[in-house]
Amino acid sequence: MSMDGFSRKATESPQEKEGLYALRFIVPLSFAALVVVFFYRWRFGAYLAGDQNIWGSFGDYFGGLMNPMIGFITVILVLRTLQITRKESEDNRRELALQRLELGRQTEEAINQTRITEKQLAIALKNEELRDIQKCLDSVVFRIEELLKTPVRHGLHIGLQHGGNSVRVENTFTSRHEVLTERNIVSLISNAVEMNKRMGGKSGSYAMTRTQWITEFSPVISLTRELAYYCSIYVDLYGDSWVLQYYKRRTFPIAFTLSLLDLVPQPVLLALTPSTLPEEFRGEGED
């Protein structure tokens, strides 16, 4: 068979195939009818009779031979029709099953794509929130450091010596940062606090020191509370990462000093406490 013939056979429609199938029976049936007529003419002659009885006999003869063949072919065609109907029904069921599978696959892909999009959107929103919080942290830390660069007022009480003598700022060029981060500031403030406890909360030096610190460091106190708030939000959303530790290490000494005079509450100090304390504060933490 040539390639052209093969391609034509492969592209035949179902209707053409069924027509060819019926033709297999029509041709033999026609040939059988011709044989019957030929045999009749050979046996009884070829003239056309004018007697109806002869025509009736011929009809009985022709029908008696052809009807069984026609009936047999009819049964075969009916069976073929049933077979085709059943095959078409099976094909339709398979097609519907394939369509359902394809629809299910497309639905699953759409759901997966939706989930991926939602995750990407959630990540984008989370990253945006993270950038916003980091901007707030940067802004607050920058304002605190800028405020700490300015000098304190002359005569600011910063605590008591062991002998009970009050310590004041005598140098007008002393910055707020120096006051808050001086190495012996902890002992000076601790002496004032201890003196106030011994006097039942009636120490004038402690009261003066605390009052002056509130006035002097009020903006720093407010910003320290704000910074602790942003740190708490950061921990709730993203955990205690190294980024947050960076801000805590920069501001913990300030929060620690302010907490000695109860200028910031303990929750604020805890929110700004790094996972590893600076070396100069480790002894204080152990005490």
Would you list the DSSP string of 205-257? Answer: HHHHHHHHHHHHHHHHHHHHHHHHHHHHHHHHHH-S-HHHHHHHHHHHHHHHH
37-43, long-range: CB within 8 Å, 24+ apart, which pairs?
A: 37/62
Q: Which domain holds residue 22?
A: 3-119
Residue 152 region by backbone torsions, left for phi larger than 0, else alpha for psi between -120 and 50, else beta: beta
Give domain status of residue 83, yes or no: yes
In a domain, 31, yes or no: yes
Mapped onto helix, strand or coil, the DSSP state of residue 207 is: helix
Give 218's pLDDT tier (boundaries 50, 70, 90): very high
Among 73, 101, 119, residue at a domain's last position? 119
Both 193 and 254 in a single domain? yes
Indicate the pLDDT class of residue 163, thresholds 50, 70 and 90.
low
Is a pLDDT exceeding 60 seen at residue 11? no
The mean predicted confidence, pLDDT, of the chain is: 79
Residue-level pLDDT at 157:
78
Q: Is 124 within a domain?
A: no
The verdict on 9 and 115 lying in the same domain is: yes
pLDDT at 55: 64
Are 72 and 169 in the same domain? no
pLDDT at 10 over 50: no
Q: Give residue 240's pLDDT.
A: 81
Residue 158 sits in the same domain as residue 280: yes
On whether both 95 and 214 belong to a single domain, the answer is no
Q: Is residue 104 located within the same domain as residue 203?
A: no
Per residue in 67-91, pLDDT tens? Answer: 777 787 788 778 878 888 888 888 8
Task: Confirm whether 126 is domain-assigned.
Answer: no
Co-location of 222 and 282 in the same domain: yes
Q: Is 105 inside any structural domain?
A: yes
pLDDT at 183: 61
| pLDDT recorded at residue 238 | 82
Q: For the chain, what percent of residues have pLDDT higher than 90? A: 24
Total of domains in the chain: 2
User: Is the domain of 115 the same as that of 207?
Assistant: no
Residues 31 and 82 in one domain: yes
